[in-house]
Chains A and B, each alone.
Chain A
Amino acid sequence: MSIIKPTRRGLLRTSAVAGAGLAMPTIFTGSASAYMNEPTGSSVTLGFNVPQSGPYADEGADELRAYELAVEHLNGGGDGGMMNTFSSKELKGNGILGKKVEYVTGDTQTKADAARASAKSMIEKDGAIMITGGSSSGVAVAVQALCQEAGIIFMAGLTHSNDTTGKDKKANGFRHFFNSYMSGAALAPVLANAYGKDRKAYHLTADYNWGYTTEEAVRESTEAMGWETVNAVKTPLTQTDFSSYIAPVLQSDADVLVLNHYGGNMINSLTNAVQFGLRDKLVNGKNFEIIVPLYSRLMARGAGENVKGIFGSTNWHWSLQDEGSKAFVKSFGEKYGFPPSQAAHTTYCQTLLYADAAERAGTFNPCGIAEALEGFEFDGLGNGKTLYRAEDHQCFKDVLVVKGKENPTSEFDILEVVEVTPVSQVTYDANIPQMGGPEATLGDCNPGA
């Protein structure tokens, strides 16, 4: 007969084994949901992450208006807006997959760290199933990376840098807005037509991610048609008075000034350039011209009369006469009393596109949604036939070349569309160097959980 003497060591060993045994089932069954923030109730929550304070607050406010309008339409309210003109007919006005759409908002402050913090909080505390928004490429790239790690779909708002769907593209991220490459490709032929092929360009470039990709894109496409780039100067993002950068332009023998600036930078540099009388000058026997590659109507308003006659590109404009644009302008205009901006348009589209993808996939699982969006062709959202390309999650559609209007009839009537550049002209190979080359990959979709 042997007596088993209880020892301290033995007890510890036994309880450790027993503990592991007890814990086992929860290890394997702990995550009952198949993906991050799977909605279990009768509603689903979207996270709208826009600049509500800081210099882009007005643009953020317009994005938020569009999101609210999209939610209203998805839930069956209002006149349905572009849901009626959208080529996909999955959306019935009963929410998404029968669940009522609710939303939470965050303030990006146009700062990458603040934007990540608010996105994180919406994902973790509010259970947002999708994050969308942003009014700056720095913010979009940062939040997109966060969503990739968290296993959440990111539907980018206004972000124009090549990197968002180029060097920094992610499997969970999707962009409807156009990019620097497309602006360059669309602008170049129009510029050659208007100003000739023998021009000397001087670039002033905002010293950050978006500025570089825009300068690169515009340089490549204008040089390809014969222009010469005489100089390219980087200006600090915090610069407010550009006079010391503008003054040397005329001495450089340049006859075109390209302002790779956005927001407050664009307003100030353009105002300064016009103040210096650049546009009244004759250089090399030609009229001196100014170009603003990315136009935003909200921003153009800040530059006042200075935008008159100046070429640029834009993703969408409220004066377009296709059925989708008309429907959107009508429902937005009736609700808020003024026409929507391009920022509002892209965020409204992104919300509908997400909802539609969920309907077609039959799930909120990010991997299912990504699959539904990849290679998805649609129409009726204001930009004509559009493709969500599978290789880089970038939308390919026509690009608008616009010009500051000479005789505006109202404070919204600042830009006129001079050409709709067909999508074929702005399509590029996903592996070109401007987009990060072949090393840049989407990676795998991450469902989280």
Chain B
Amino acid sequence: MNHTGGYVADPRIRAIEWLPWAIALLCYFVAPTYLPLGSYVLTMIIFALSLDLILGYGGIITLGHSAYFGTGAYAAGILAARLTGEPLIGLLAGTLAAGLLGLITGLIILRTRGLALLMLTLAITSLCFEVANKATSWTGGADGLGGFTIQPILGLFKFDFLGKTAYVYCLVVLFACWWLVRRLVYSPFGASLTGVRENNVRMHAAGAPVYRRLVIAYTISAALAGLAGALLTQTTQFVGLKVLGFELSGELMVMLILGGFGRIYGAFVGPLVFLVAQDYLAKQFPEYWYFGIGAMLVLVVMFARGGILGIIDAIIARLRRTQS
């Protein structure tokens, strides 16, 4: 598979990499009534980026990433309900809480690989889910945690009914995350992660501290997932148990694979296509829309293993061949 990125690639930002941002800004002006959906898509892009870092680059297959998303979401929610509704502190709390959990769990589970690792990630999600389900006085249990208010951002921008503030807020946070992930991926650290993915044994033989690299990547990824969770909490002012469900982990992985993993922008395309399709289908066929989603996934898995970006790559390659 043709993965872009890695240490060898040119780290300068290419012109086309500004395209998503231009589109995002355009949406703000062109489709003002779609902004709540837009905010959700942006949040999920951050979440997908965090998964891409460990799955696409580190080769860690996990079905438990919602543990960190949910931890961040609940941390931000509990903070807002108990102490302060200041959004930036909430983001920081969500990021740190999930990062800490990522570090602790990463230290344990990254000693294993393959199926054992997959099972452990599932187990951690189930544990977190049960804790949130049982600690009703803190989390609201099955009813969820709501009724808190999030203060205006920097004391200036109030969260409005149409979701304009929330959209711009999500966009700015996503930009920061993108910049960070991009820096990481194009650094020697990113190159060594790709090395671990491609040939674990060889990286060991080369004397690379594989375990430590993976733990660091896992922690950063968990922190980013927590950031996304906190963002969801703040823009919807509610946290439900679903944020810790492993359905969410599965859906996230589907989105990333749909977009194409291990290439940063797959994490942009996947959630966008998946969620917009879901939104559209759910509107056209409120009773049967899951069928459409299923059909779309079957087609992608059968005919486009590299995801949507993989298809685009293939088309470009073919055009080049016919030209030359």
- Do A and B interact? no
Interface residues of B, Cβ cutoff 8 Å to A: none
